[in-house]
Structure 1
C-alpha cells in the first residue's frame, strides 16, 4: 500500500481496505464515490451551507439511493446460479490485468467456490481455498486442484514419489536429539566419545521413526527440517517425508485429511493420522516440483496461478481474490444490479425526481451534489473507453428516462449499452455497501 501523509488520503485507503475485507470487490468504485462526495461537500461549504446540513442531506440521499437499488434488483434463479456467479466474476475481471484470460480465471474461481461452499447456509469459508503462485507460461494456465498443493518436494531423491493410501503424520516436532533447556557444554576428547555421540543421535532418530511406524503412518509432513542422517534413516525405513512445510499449509492439510497436528513423537496415535494420497509433480522442469495432496472426502481446493514474473503473479493473485469475492457475493446474496454505471445513473435519476418535491434550497443542493457524485462512475467509464463522457452520460440518462430500462450503461466493449444482454452486473450487497461506506466516511470528515 502506498503511504501518504494526507489524512484524507489515509482515510480513503482505509475505506478501500474495509470494502476489500468485508465485500472483496468494489474497492475502486467506493473510493471514487467517496472522493466525489468530498469534493462536492467542499464546494457546498464554500457556498455557506453548514457541514452538518451537508451530512444530513447526504444521509437522506444515500437512503433514497439504496431504496431504489432494492426496487431495481433482480433475483437469481437457483437453476442459473453458476452462470450468474461466473458473470459476476467476469465483470470484476474486465478491468484487470488478466482480462484476456478472464474466462478461464472466472471458471476456476466459480468451481472453487461451489466446491467448498455450504449451500444450505449460503456461506463460503475462504480458508478452504488456497492460492499458490508459480512462474509459468501465462494467466490462461490457471488450474484448480481438488486438494492441497504444497510448494515442496520429498526430502530424499530415492523416496517414493507417490503414496496412494497415505496415513499422514502431521508433525511440528523436529527430527533432532533433545536439547537441554539450560546452557551446557559437551566435551569430546576421544574418538570413542565422538562415536558414542553419533550412536546416541542415531538411536534417538530410530526411536522417533519407531513412534511414527507404531502409529501406522506411512508418510510424514513436518514443519521443521532434518539433517542428512535423519533423512537417510527415513528413506531406509520406507517413510516418504516432506520437510519445512509452512504452518498454514500444515493446518490446511490437517483440516483436509482429518488429521491432528502433533508436537511430540510419543503422543502420536493412529487416530491422529490424516488420510489421503500424495504425489510429487513437476512444473515444467525437473527442478520445479510440488506435492499434490488429495482426499476424496475433503473439500479443500487449491488454485494454481501461473504468470511470467513475480510482479504479474502478485497482480494475478489479487485478480483471483476479487473474482472469488464477486462470485461468493452472488452465492450468499442472490440479488444483482446491473453494471456499466447503469445502477448509478438509475439512482441519480430517482434522486432528481425527489428534487422536484424539495422546497429547502440547501437540501436540494445536497441532493444534487450526491447525484453528481454517483454520476462520476459512468463518466469515468466513458472517459476510459475513449468516449465523450458528458455526451455519453446525457444520452444514457435520456434513454433510461424514456424507456425506463434501468440496465442501460456505458458501452465499454462495443457490444451495446444493454448491460442485461451483455451480462454485466454487480451483487446488490456490494453496490449497497459502496454507497453506505462512502457516505459514512464523508459524514465522519464533515462532523
Structure 2
C-alpha cells in the first residue's frame, strides 16, 4: 500500500485514503498487553518466522524479549533505554545454538591466576583495582651495584615486603575476588591463594566498569587506600567455567 501511495505523493496528490487505512488497521490490529509474555512472544515470532533462524524461533523469541527487558531501566517513574550501557553481545566459539542465552551479569573471557582457586562463589565480595600487584619498575633505566652477596638478598627481600604489604591491605578487607587491570606477580598470586581469594588479571577497563555497576564496587588505584565501601557486595554469584575451546 505504501509503495503504491508513493507515486501519488510524488505528484503532490493529497493522500485521501490515509484515514480509511488507519481505520482499517485499527479494526484488524490486536492490542498487546506488556505484562502478557505469551502475547509478546507471538508478536516477535511473526517477524522471526521469515528468517533463517525460524527453526529455533522459540529460543530466539525468548532471547529477544529478555534482552529488551535488560536494556530498560526504570527509576523515579522515569524510563531509560540504553543498549550500550546495559547490554553487550558476546560471541564465544564452540557449542551449539541452544547454548545461547541472556545472562543477567557480566561475562569476562579471562582465566584465573591459579588452578587451586574457587570456581563457584555465592554472594562474593569483590575488589576492583586498576593498579598492578607486582614490584614497581623504574620509569628510567636504573643500575644497581652489588658489592656483597647479602646485597642481592636484601634487594629481593625489599621487593617481597613491598608486594606482601599490598596483599595484606587487600586481605584485610576480606574479599573473595580480586580483579585488576594490570599484572599480578607470582608472590602476590601465592599470598592471595593462601587467603582463599580468587584473582583475575589484565581485565579491560570497559569490563571493570561493567563489574562496578553489577556488584557496587569502586575501582581503586592504590590497595593501601581500600575502604569497606569500595568492596562490591551486590553480586549474587561468581562462576568460572570453560565454554567451547
Shift in CA distance, 149/61, structure 1 to aligned 2, threshold 3 Å = farther
Q: Go from structure 1 to structure 2 and tell me whether the alpha carbon gap of 1:151 and 1:66 turns closer, same or farther (over 3 Å shift).
A: farther
User: 2:91 aligned to 133, 145, 148, which one?
Assistant: 133
Is the counterpart of residue 281 in structure 1 residue 237 in structure 2?
A: no
Q: 1:82 to 1:185 in 2, by over 3 A?
A: same
Q: Give per-residue Cα distances to partners, 1:166-210, cap 9 Å, x unaligned.
A: 1100111111223444x2313253543332232222112111112
Q: Secondary structure at the match of 2:59?
A: helix
1:66–1:201: structure 2 CA closer, same or farther, 3 Å change rule?
farther
Q: 1:90/1:199 Cα in 2 relative to 1: closer, same or farther (>3 Å)? A: farther
**CA apart distance, 1:143:** 2.0
Q: Which residue of 1 aligns with 2:45?
A: 90
- Residue in 1 aligned with 2:141? 184
CA distance in 2, matches of 1:59, 1:218: 71
* 1:114 is aligned to 2:72: no
| 3-state SS, counterpart of residue 241 of structure 2 | strand
Greater C-alpha radius of gyration = 1
User: Which secondary structure state, in structure 1, belongs to the residue aligned with residue 213 of structure 2?
Assistant: helix
Long gaps (5+) in structure 2: none
Residues 250/91 of structure 1: CA separation in 2 closer, same or farther (3 Å cut): farther
For residues 11-53 of structure 1, the C-alpha deviation after alignment (integer angstroms, 9 at most, x for no partner) is: xxxxxxxxxxxxxxxxxxxxxx8xxx8xx9xxxxxxxxxxxxx
| 1:72-92 per-position Cα deviation (integer Å, ceiling 9, x unaligned) | 364734256533543444344
Following TM superposition, the consecutive aligned residue runs of length 4 or more in structure 1 with deviations greater than 6 angstroms are 61-69
What is the TM-score when the length of structure 2 is the normalising length? 0.77
Judge conservation of contact 1:161–1:279 (CA < 8 Å) in 2: yes
**Residue 245 of structure 1 pairs with residue 245 of structure 2:** no
Relative distance call for 1:90 and 1:184 in structure 2 (3 A) is same
Q: Quote the residue 1:150 is aligned against.
A: 108
Aligned length: 232
After TM superposition, the score normalised by the length of structure 1 is 0.45
RMSD, aligned α-carbons: 3.3
Structure 1 counterpart of 2:123:
165
- Separation (CA, whole Å) in 2 of partners of 1:191 and 1:64: 99
| Structure 2 Cα separation of the partners of residues 236 and 63 of structure 1 | 77
Contact 1:217 1:270 (8 Å CA) reproduced: no
Structure with greater helix percent: 1
- Structure number with greater CO (CA < 8 Å, separation at least 6) is 1
Distance 1:67 1:263, change over 3 A: farther
Partner Cα separation in structure 1 for residue 170 and residue 112 of structure 2? 17
Give distance in 1, aligned partners of 2:208 and 2:99.
Answer: 26
> 5+ unaligned residues in a row in structure 1: which ranges?
1-32, 41-53, 289-447
